[in-house]
Amino acid sequence: MTLRRAVGLSLAGLMVLVGAVWFGQGNGWIGGSSMTDDGFWAYAGAVTAGLGVALAYVVVQSARRSKGDAGALDDRYGRR
């Protein structure tokens, strides 16, 4: 795993986790803060978590694409 992929997936996971917490607080499922029962935080959490999932998808697809290109070049030039 490359550093770029590790950082991208870590950031994506953090975004999903933070988004889930914000969503839970905004909906009143997690109490104890000024964010509880505030619809803005439910919306912000859903958007943040969704962007985290999208980032993870892009990172994984980018890794698959680059791995596929390298394999094609190896086949083309006879390296195995």
The parent domain of residue 28 ranges over: 3-76
Residues 52, 23: Cα–Cα separation, whole Å: 14
- Count of CB atoms situated within 10 Å of the CB of 37: 13
Q: Say whether 29 sits in a helix, a strand or coil.
A: coil
Q: How many domains does the chain have?
A: 1
Whole-model pTM? 0.78
Neighbour-count burial of 3, counting CB atoms closer than 10 A to its CB (0-12 exposed, 13-18 middle, 19+ buried): exposed
CA angle 62/66/72 to nearest 5° reads 145
pLDDT in tens, 21-65: 999 999 999 999 899 999 999 999 999 999 999 999 999 998 887
